[in-house]
Amino acid sequence: MADPKKRADLVDPSSLAALGRIEVIARWVVEGFLMGLHKSPRKGFSVEFAEHRSYQPGDDLRYLDWRVVARADKWLIKQFEEETNLRATVVLDVSKSMHWTGSPERITKLAYAERVAAAVAWLLLRQRDAVGLIRFDDQVRTVIPPRARSVQWRRIIDALDDPGAGKGSDGPGALMQAARMITRPGMVVVISDLLVNEDEMQSAIATLRAIGHDVTVLHIMDPAERDLGVARSEADLVDTETSQVVNAMVSEMRPAYRDTVLAAIEEWRGRCAASGASYEVVYTDQPYGIGLRRAFASRQALP
């Protein structure tokens, strides 16, 4: 059990998992994250004029546009759209590969990613931003449009409990869904192990950036994926999404494997940079606050 006196964003993820419920962990993580930043900027709501419509009996006369009445003798009511500081969507990969862990002492990539998603959502809602959620595997499984209302938190948490059903990862399709959901420039946070088609994913990210969205990619990895953490000298390596099996001499291939993984990480970093997106690798043995701080601390309006 995590020490309640210690900042939860700096506690081992597996220890925090003993607390159980995602929303409890997410709130603790965000409290610690904001404590580490020393200040949480609080920004208020404003109201943005949307359009006119014809006056109807019973309408509140406070919203009658008297200037139009005086100038054109038309009785028009002003309609407003609630404007938040930001509209954001968290795009979460729930495909088969995300259900994996390299050690029984660590939580799965998906369990880690779900808590990161919940923490990001809670952080944005605390700042009175609108946030939504998309979950995907080989198809889009969940779509919750961005809202800043208090009930949004419960909708997101309930959705995180839904299972994914597919093996593959249609990340590009999920990003295009996010683009359709956010009608003005906002933020998209992608949380995935990025076992997807690289070219299609980069193209989707570039499309989001081209229409004005700020994109942050959180690349979730288990340390065993980076280091080939297999104790045996020979093992069958199984692709969890395609079920393809490859027999390998682990001791012989480990150095080359690690170099290949590090090269892949740098390739993703370069692809995201070329598309104008932020990119961070987040390992599932790291406290949540480390990845959150690297990804979002620079966005905070610190004094």
pLDDT in tens, 124-176: 888 788 899 999 999 899 999 999 888 899 999 999 988 766 778 889 999 99
Task: Tell me which amino acid residue 196 is.
Answer: V
42: left (phi over 0), alpha (psi -120 to 50) or beta: beta
Cα(242)–Cα(264) distance, rounded to whole angstroms? 20
Residues 6+ apart with CB under 8 A from 107: 13, 14, 17, 101, 284
Q: Bigger pLDDT: 113 or 296? A: 113
Buried b (16+ CB within 10 A) or exposed e, 118-157: bbbbbbbbebebbbbbbbbbbebbbbbbbbbeeebbebbb
Q: Is the pLDDT of residue 246 over 90?
A: no
Question: Counting Cβ atoms within 10 Å, is residue 244 exposed (0-12), middle (13-18) or buried (19+)?
Answer: exposed
Q: What pLDDT is recorded for position 44?
A: 39
Q: Is the pLDDT of residue 9 over 90?
A: no
* Contacts within 8 Å (CB) and 24+ apart, 246-250: none
Q: What pLDDT is recorded for position 241?
A: 57
Cα(286)–Cα(283) distance, rounded to whole angstroms? 6
Q: Bigger pLDDT: 243 or 175? A: 175
Report all structural domains of the chain as residue ranges with CATH numbers, in order of start.
8-41+85-299 (3.40.50.410), 46-83 (no CATH)
pLDDT band at 278 (very low <50, low <70, confident <90, very high): very high
Of the candidates 207, 178, 209, which has an alpha carbon nearest to the alpha carbon of residue 191? 178
Tokens coding 88: 């954001």
Cα(27)–Cα(128) distance, rounded to whole angstroms? 15
Mean confidence (pLDDT) of the chain: 80
Tokens coding 157: 């948490």
Q: Bigger pLDDT: 166 or 96? A: 96
Q: What pLDDT is recorded for position 71?
A: 83
Sign of CA dihedral 7, 9, 11, 15: positive
Q: Bigger pLDDT: 44 or 277? A: 277
Task: Tell me which amino acid residue 36 is.
Answer: G
Task: Tell me which amino acid residue 235 is.
Answer: A
Helix (H, G, I), strand (E, B) or coil at 284: coil
DSSP 8-state secondary structure symbol assigned to residue 64: B
**Number of Cβ atoms within 10 Å of the Cβ of 91:** 25
Tokens coding 154: 């419960």
* Contacts within 8 Å (CB) and 24+ apart, 124-128: 124/86, 124/88, 125/152, 125/153, 126/30, 126/34, 126/40, 127/40, 127/41, 127/42, 127/43, 127/85, 127/86, 128/42, 128/43, 128/44, 128/45, 128/84, 128/85
Query: What is the reported pTM?
Result: 0.76
Q: Is the pLDDT of residue 271 over 60?
A: yes
Highest mean pLDDT among 33-37, 215-219, 244-248: 215-219
